[in-house]
Amino acid sequence: MVLLVRWTAYIGALALLLGPTAASARASSYDRALDQGEIMVYTAPVKGSDVPAMVVKAVIDAPPAKVWAIVSRCGDYTRTMLRIKAATEVSRKGNNIVCRVTVDMPFPYSDMTATTRVVHRVAGGRWSRRWTLIHGDYTVNSGSWLLRPFRGDANRTLVVYRAHAAPRAWVPGWIRERAQKKTLPEMILKLRRLVR
């Protein structure tokens, strides 16, 4: 038992010493990949939901304010985003916006519309757009755009997009995931073209 306690203490001390280094190395590796233009797409579990959130991280070679001018205007999404059939900014009071967006679904599925409550916040060198579902063709539709300078460079933007959506109509999970994993990188590529 004493040996186990000593070994556990040794492992704990080693983890404390190496943990930050390993985490730092991992973060550095991610930064290098992002710096070289990689688009990272992954799923993240959501507490209380069987449907994971989709997350995309990428760097866009433009100032955050220029990227923000695109992602903050839901009324323009038919032009600036992918697979958007209709988009309307229903109302705006300061940083509180209501948006209605219809996603163009592939056959044989019906298009899906969501009206969402959106909150914008620009402060401390960060731009954020967060939305939650008011009503629509989903049981849940929430997410965010987060923008900030990449590694302190005011002319490059780290974009983190997160979406957690579950349609009311049944759509196989593998179809949803495959569509999102294809659409999300294409969305970033389109943003890169729009800010040139």
Q: What is the pTM of this model?
A: 0.84
Domain ranges across the chain: 1-36, 38-194
Quickly count: other Cβ atoms within 10 Å of residue 94's Cβ. Answer: 7
Q: Which residues contact 176 (CB under 8 A, 6 or more apart)?
A: 167
The pLDDT assigned to 10 comes to 37
Q: Is residue 177 a contact partner of residue 165, using CB atoms and an 8 Å limit?
A: no
pLDDT (tens digit per residue) in 13-36: 434 445 555 656 666 788 999 999
* DSSP string for the chain: -HHHHHHHHHHHHHHHHHHHHHHHHHHHHHHHHHHTT--EEEEE--TT-SSPEEEEEEEESS-HHHHHHHHT-GGGHHHHSSSEEEEEEEEEETTEEEEEEEE-PPTTSPPEEEEEEEEEEEETTEEEEEEEEEEESEEEEEEEEEEEEETTEEEEEEEEEEEEEEESS---HHHHHHHHHHHHHHHHHHHHHHT-
Q: Which fold has domain 38-194?
A: Alpha-D-Glucose-1,6-Bisphosphate; Chain A, domain 4 (3.30.530)
**pLDDT score of 28:** 77
Asked if residue 81 lies in contact with residue 184, where contact means CB atoms within 8 angstroms, the answer is: no
User: What local confidence, expressed as pLDDT, does residue 176 receive?
Assistant: 66
pLDDT at 11: 38
In this predicted structure, what is the pLDDT of residue 58? 98
Ranges of residues in the chain with a pLDDT under 50 are 1-17
Q: How far apart are CA 77 and CA 90, in angstroms?
A: 13
Model pLDDT, residue 105: 85
